[in-house]
Chain A
Amino acid sequence: MNLLGLAWRSLLNRRFAVILTICTIALSIGLVVLVEQLRSEVRQGFHRSVSGVDLIVGARTAPVQLLLYSVFGIGDATNDISWQTYTELKELPEVEWAIPMALGDSHRGFRVMGTSEAFFEHYRFGNREALRLAEGRVFEDLFDVVIGAQVARRLGYDPGEQIVLAHGTGNVALQSHDDHPFTVRGILAPTGTPVDQQLYISLAAHRAIHIGWESGVQRPGAGIDPDSARARADELRPNSVTAILLGLTTRAAAFGLQRRINEYRQEALSGIMPGITLQQLWRITGLAEQVLRVVAALVVLAGLLGMLTVLLTTLNERRREMAILRANGARPWQIASLLVFEAGLIAAAGIVLGVALAVVVQVAAAPWLLTNLGLHVGLSWPEPWQIGVLGAIFVAGLLVALVPAFLAYRRTLADGMQVKT
């Protein structure tokens, strides 16, 4: 047994206080790791969702707001874009594809998006991956609905299921479109983006179920029955869409087109580049993240001070232990290093346990983030700089231990061989 072994046995002897100290440090480390991991995972999750989109167009609004309500289903649009504008944008030479989004309906808490086939064909997520159907097909009948993977999983829907949509996206007193039941036709494969949390209907269907709803509520007798709607399917189109996702022939065209959209004469539009707008979003949330980081750092400090307290309070009890060690040939520096070893063992155990704790919480929180934000939060190996931070915390733990180590050093010199009872 060497000095480290002695430190270990001495710690075992005081395991209750030591375990509590390790838990304190583990909690603080867990918080630090969690804040950083979730931060980067959430950011990655957001980027995944818009990685294939060059421009998002909506009615004039703040860029961050447009991004949040169009892609992430956070908040609501204040205004729509006219159908006219949509067709004009779609025809522009630099526009390769345009995905219309007609929002405003929901089904059991999930958003319903009226869109065109362009969505299934051109939307890209993550590393330029295309959407894939896990089951069924895209729209065949007018009243067909394609549902996201999470919708299917959570509501237990299979192709062929008859469902009714609700008007509005709020949670209370929704009026339902029960005169136009839809049939689940296809289920999308999981993407780990908000795509999984939505239902998709055609623009014509979106129009059909809203005939007679122009004032926001259904005018009695003004609707169109499903069969006549099917007969007129080709001419049904909405008067407006909520937002448009654009893919351009070249990314370089984005700046010019964005300016033209923002200066569009016929109506007030906002065009945003998702990547840049996300950066703006991170600048807004950055302050909160900094606060969280500072809090996490302070908690780590509290954890280390807790360890210092434990080491200092045991120092008196251990005065005899140190005199015995000294009488048996231990040198003052060896006794001092016992304390540093102990702190090292405590800090290392705390760090390992803390990282494990963060992993557990991350795994536990992942489903919640997926359901509530549509964000896929995976486990990732800590980045080198994070490992560096953990290493620095470990070193800080050793440095903190220098205080009791120094006291023990001085005391063993002063006490001589006297063993005080």
Chain B
Amino acid sequence: MRKVLLPTIIIVSALLILARLFYLQIVDESLKLKSDNNAIKIIYEYPERGYIYDRNGTLIVANQPSYDIMVTPKDVKNIDTLELCKLLNITKADFIRIVEKARVYSPRLPSVFLPQLNKREYAAFQEKQRKFQGFDIVKRSLRDYQTTAGSNIFGFITQVNEKKIESNSYYKSGDLIGQQGVEQEYENILRGIKGVKYRQRDKFNKDIGSYKDGKFDTIAVQGEDIKLTIDIALQEYGEELMKNKRGGIVAIEPSTGEILALVTAPSYDPSILVGRERSKNYTRLYNDSIAKPLFDRALLGEFPPGSPFKILTGLVALQEGVIDERTTFFCNHGFSYGRGRFMRCHGSGPHQLLNGISQSCNTYFANAFMRTIDKYKNPAQAVDIWSSHIKSFGLGDFMGYDLPTGKKGLIPSSKIYKRIYPNGGWRSTTIISNSIGQGEVLMTPIQLANMMAAVANEGTYFTPHIVKKIKDHRIDDKFLTRHKTSINPMYFKPVIEGLHAVYNGGTASALRIDGIEICGKTGTAENYSKINGKRTQLTDHSIFVAFAPKDNPKIAIAVLVENGYYGARNAGPMASLMIEKYLKGSISRKDLEVKIYSNDLQKEYAKYISGQPFGINGK
């Protein structure tokens, strides 16, 4: 018995292996198809990419046909290389280099030989194609932009890279894929699904019909059209206003969270990233490390928010019950807090909440902040409570919008101060700069805009989003859910009155628009940069946040102009013009418009890199 065991195991195992082999080799037919069989040629049919429309149904991104010449290195036989090179206007060295690269990718699979031919080049090649064995033409669609604006929103399409090919079996060498912006975020919807045809070939490479009567073939599924929340006219206008400046504008519809405009400057015409010049142009944009045209300041720029942050300081103080509408703080050109430290303020006199906001009084909000923090025995606990109120506006974190890039900004919690002051000893006065949006606090323009939307809605907001409708289906439910801030709605009323007063006798009284009641807040944010290793103060960022109309708000907006000096100088007029443009459709104050157009900040930016000493804030 003991002698029999091993031989039995051996024979049983061998039979098991044979059975498995029989199944794989004889029974299971799908494996034969999957094998890249010599006799089967796979032909892909590329569907047209979905169109992109703006919120009003204006077509903004369409397609144009383009032709790629593909090469399958193994099949290249007996061709007149010289003739081919001449026809396509390339050198023999190019030819050898491209074919060699294709061979490294795969000798049996097609790679792009020459991408994106126009119709004329295509016609010339097609006439002689039969002479060049191993070369095929694949028709793809390229983007055809109907606007010069919105490049940061759209992103672009490009040939898929090798890493993606490896990680996702859908993509084959030479396929196009969306990168950045909506093109990347909604790639699967826009691209559709390519069709596959299996054709049988004999050993002379001649097509001898479909494989298994097309049992495995699939039909291409068209990409779906997308409707954006963007108002393209507003977007174009915003980019126009931002010319020769750096910064961002974000406009949101408070009642839905729809992004009406998402402007970053400097920007570029999206059509320069289409066609054979794409790579050259992209490299040029990529290498501009000073102006950074590929850096979406509206989503990625983290700035100290400055005075607009006082709105939140006030709201939190009201919610925590440490101030009310009538609480009065006396300002004497500033606020001194402990041992000779002094926060300057431009105004003076007794301030209550309303004129505290409209006059943007530092003293008022420093006091309100101090009371908030000092309400609790332990400053760590107090800061965390304050921090969670602020974060309930969607700040200090990625907001969850449907664009692929973002920054968290920074809303400090006690953890950060414990790290900065490991020995403790920090108190409300240590961190008082946060009360006026300086200090540790950082926000992106889209966060500023969202904050305004939440104020406009009296304490609720929707996650900002860029896509309004995808052909036949609804957008993600997360964009239809109303988020609540931790501030009681009743506290928004007095703050909104204060924001309204900003336009009526306050810091933005020169920017009123007839017939539109605007609520806004100016901001002038100090900022620093390292120049030759030295921390140097630069001209203040000009910031403005607003929403309008006061009742039933239609637009909430944040404008940030890097080094644009005080808020009412650049950002304020731009916000006011954008609001007028969106609500009225046209601009009545042409003089203001001209003033902004002619406000060229390039000289300001040039100062910082000139290497010469420079003055700031107009000096």
Q: Do A and B come from one complex?
A: no
Q: Which positions in B face A, CB cutoff 8 Å?
A: none
Q: Which positions in A face B, CB cutoff 8 Å?
A: none
